[in-house]
Structure 1
Amino acid sequence: MQISIEIPESVLVATNADATTFAGELRTLAAVKLYEMARLSSGKAAELAGMSRVEFLINLEKYQVFPLTQELQELEAENVSSHQ
């Protein structure tokens, strides 16, 4: 599904990014905020951001959002089972 939003050109200029880069940043920011608000799981937020779940969880630190304890436990369990 595609959703369109209008962005003033002055905002795009202020970000010093082209439209494609800015759109990607908006998707990531939306995914991070929705995850932080517990409206999306880390898997769905990662899907919205266009990255793997692990990559998404690692990148949360950039936005000063930290994975929930349950998410960290799940990742540790996945890591242990993949190394056995």
Structure 2
Amino acid sequence: MSTITLQVPEKVDLDPKETARFLAAKLYEIGRLSLGQAAELAGLSKVAFSEVLGDYDVSLINHPIADIIKDASKI
């Protein structure tokens, strides 16, 4: 895993754990990370991470509707 350093103004109160969870949730939402990868970035288990996704308005099911319909038509 690589490390990224951000310069944030002191008046912005950011908690490192909360920031990692937010970033993980948003990267999961846009499909850049799998659930497992995002959970690892957030420092949580997959179950715990899936439970906090709602805190960031991110759905656990993040597949495009067209893919879901396509998969369902194969059944």
2:55 corresponds in structure 1 to 62
State the Cα RMSD in Å: 1.7
Instruction: List runs of 5+ in structure 1 lacking aligned partners.
Output: 16-21, 71-84
TM-score by length of 1: 0.66
Larger RCO (alpha carbons 8 Å, 6+ apart): 2
Using the alignment, how far apart are the partners of 1:49 and 1:9 within structure 2? 23
Instruction: Please give the residue correspondences for 1:1-84 in structure 2 after superposition, counting only pairs within 5 Å.
Output: 1-12=2-13, 22-68=15-61
Aligned length: 62
Greater percentage in helix? 1
Write the deviation string for residues 42-84 of structure 1: whole angstroms up to 9, x where unpaired.
00000000000110011111112111178xxxxxxxxxxxxxx
Instruction: Give the distance between the partners of 2:62 and 2:30, measured in 1 at CA.
Output: 15
Return the TM-score normalized by structure 2. 0.73
Q: Partner of 1:10: helix, strand, or coil?
A: coil
1:2 to partner: Cα distance: 2.6
